Structure 1
Amino acid sequence: MEYAVAPAPVYTLPVAGSEQQFPVNRLFCVGRNYAAHAREMGRDPDREKPFFFMKPANAVVAVGSNAGEGEVTIPYPPKTANFHHEIELVVAIGKGGANIPVEQALEHVYGYAVGLDMTRRDIQLEARDKGRPWEFGKSFAQSAPIGPIRRASEVGHVVEGEIALTVNGEARQKSDVSKLIWSVAESIAYLSEYETLEPGDIIMTGTPEGVNAVQRGDLMVGTVANLDAIRVRVAG
């Protein structure tokens, strides 16, 4: 087959303890999925139906090797003066499906990782307040640094455990995965009613309270219990 232009690259994430790479298909992000974060964003934390936004595959920045080592640098993006961190539990889908029952949803999970949903907050809030899409605030290149994937067969399913982020050694975000408004299984089941999930899809499950701005040169360290920590620096 002859292409008119060069095909887009395949973006991948390392699989911890393996030489394999996990090919990324689509990134679905659950919005306002911790009650305290919903409050700090000025929204009602009641358990309404979940909502999702998407990031492009080129948002992915693989952090560390399959041994969970290393640090990556991401650019400070243009057109913002309020670049925010959002630490998240990341779910990698290994088996696709539509209309997945919540009781079977975790069977579709390949593994879990730690990730950041980096956000141009000023642009996002302006769009939100005008009733416009969030794309320029959320869906841009290198806005989703993600660590090595730990297979569910190795670590089990992540339903609880500390999730935290520090910036330059200072605590910024700290909560527990058990505080998700919509659990991993519920998010998968609900999303699959609207979109047939495919192997390689990524779900970023939402961020707890404490989101804030980072500056050029800052070092973010994100953790979720029993997963590989990530170290992400903002370019100076």
Structure 2
Amino acid sequence: MMRGFPCRPRTIAAIGRNYVEHAKELKNEAPKNPFWFLKPAGSLIEMPAPIELPQGVGEVHHEVELVVVMGSDKATRVPVDKAYDHVAGYAICIDITGRTLQSEAKEKRLPWSRAKGFDTFCPIGPFIPKDLVPDPAKLELWLAINGEERQRASVSNMVFNVPQLISAVTHSMTLERGDLILTGTPSGVGPMNPGDVVTYGVKGVNEEFDREMTFDVVKGPHVGMDTLASL
């Protein structure tokens, strides 16, 4: 059970390219419609657990994101104007990405699941009740590595806002209480390495939730292709 959350999610839907500047930095066009991929629930961790970087998979990048936490037992084909009725609250997470693996998958037109789904690849902060966030567009996200700021942006810069994302996802799949929508990352993504300390957070809630979250980055097991070939 995740502390403060309604329950552990069954589904984690992560939105891609939802900030124009981030799309540009990875040489992608901003999408005309929302699109998403799935992360396994097993990738979730909370403080003080460390982020484990798998060895043998190339660069691994940070992507700080606003998380929508679903609050209804069944959200199916939700209209945009009813979307907030299905929200329990919010959180801030890092959608950690094996960038080398993702780039290789894109070149081969293969799924991104491995690049996004390693254990510890979704460090998440505390649950923020919806009542404390009248308008998520007024929040500001930030992330720093070893005290150096890498990402900072207003949620208002998203291409598709929270109600549009909830509606789009639930027109394809039913979301349940506790399920998560990761709403995309702003520009400034970059590599993490063992020994780094990652801090991130949100501005615009209150003193309790505006405080930073800290995760140590450590070396994980070797899971490169040479390891897989020997199985």
In the alignment, is residue 234 of structure 1 matched against residue 223 of structure 2? no
Q: Give 2:154's aligned residue.
A: 176
Of 36, 61, 84 in structure 1, the residue corresponding to residue 45 of structure 2 is 61
Alpha-carbon separation, structure 1, partners of 2:51 and 2:33: 33
- Which of 67, 72, 83 lines up with 2:60 in the alignment? 83
Q: How many residues align?
A: 213
Normalising by structure 1, report the TM-score: 0.86
Contact 2:62 2:190 in 1 (8 A): yes
Name the amino acid aligned to 1:61. Answer: I
What is the distance in 2 between the residues matched to 1:23 and 1:138? 19
**1:41 maps to what in 2?**
26
Between stretches 154-163 and 91-100, larger displacement belongs to 154-163
Extract unaligned runs of 5+ from structure 2. 220-231
Deviation for aligned residue 1:137:
0.7
Q: Give distance in 1, aligned partners of 2:84 and 2:56.
A: 39
1:98 equivalenced with 2:73 (yes/no): no
Percent of paired sites with the same residue: 35
Q: Does the CA contact (< 8 Å) of 2:58 and 2:101 recur in 1?
A: no
Displacement of 1:130 after TM fit? 1.4
Q: Residue 81 of structure 1 aligns to a residue in which SS?
A: coil
Aligned counterpart for 2:187 among listed residues 199, 205, 209: 209
Q: Distance in 2 between matches of 1:199 and 1:78?
A: 35
Counterparts of 1:203 and 1:175, CA distance in 2: 18
Q: Could you tell me how far apart the structure 1 residues matched to 2:156 and 2:2 are? A: 25
TM-score by length of 2: 0.88
Amino acid at match of 1:206: G
| Cα offset, 1:33, TM superposition | 0.6
* Superposed displacement of residue 129, structure 1: 1.6
* Rounded Cα–Cα distance in structure 1 between residues aligned with 2:37 and 2:130: 25
Q: Is the 8 A contact 1:13 1:146 kept in 2?
A: no
Residue 3 of structure 2 corresponds to residue 14 of structure 1: yes
54-63 or 157-166, which deviates more = 157-166
Amino acid at match of 1:149: F
In structure 2, the residue corresponding to 1:112 is in which secondary structure?
strand
Deviates more, 1:154-163 or 1:122-131: 154-163
Cα distance in 2, alignment partners of residues 55 and 169 from structure 1:
28
